Amino acid sequence: MQDENALVTGASRGIGRAIALALAENGAHVTGTATTQEGAQQVGTLLNEAGFQGAGEPLQLQDPESVSALLARLAEQDRMPTILVNNAGITRDNILIRMKDEEWDDVLSTNLRGVFQLTRGCLRGMLKARRGRIINLSSVVAFIGNPGQTNYASTKAGLIGFTRALAQEVGLRGITVNCVAPGFIETDMTRALSDEQQGELRQRIPLQRLGTAEDVAAAVLYLAGGGGGYITGETLHVNGGMFMG
């Protein structure tokens, strides 16, 4: 991936951080985004101190002006991505009967509209170059649902339709578009659960363990690299067998 520019949204922690490091380790020049300037600086420091090429950029995905500003900076610095990983997303959990309009709108504007606007902006360069990889992070909840997450599940299911339609639009130009759908992944949130709660989660998973951010990053790396060159419009499930689609 020596000649590739990768853009990874939500790269300051968790899955996004692992993806940014995996791509950088394989030679890509990585731009990782965070919601604050401080977070962006931390992303850049993380990459550089590990000896990789890369930088951090602030991005408020739900803000069209922030998306446009990021794209302008990338174009000015000749860093427009040939690999785009749409990882950033938010949750605003609530049961539907109590869900506020803003809880619904915030999740859709970030997880769907923001992905649409950023992808559209990045596509121009890929179409001109006649190559590119677009990888969208969906979720197992798009397939099995989850109480209190009608807004989040809707966006993650929407990304799958977005992926399939876009893959058909741009395949002729050598651009692949795929989803990765993580299951239950070890995070600060799951580590805070009691042993009993973690055990209940593991009981739902045939492999009897939670996934790691590195498990997800490995799937993204495969789709972004040469091995994934003939795969498009697909969803790669990384869930330990919790859902078998």
Q: Known catalytic residues?
A: 152
**β-bridge partners, 2:** none
Both tokens assigned to 236:
């790669």
Query: What Cα–Cα distance (Å) separates residue 242 from each residue in 60, 81, 210, 211, 226?
Result: 32, 33, 10, 11, 28
**β-bridge partners, 32:** 8, 56
Closest CA to 202 of 226, 215, 185: 185
Judge contact between 151 and 131, C-beta under 8 A. no
Report how far residue 211's alpha carbon sits from residue 39's, in angstroms, rounded to the nearest whole number: 25
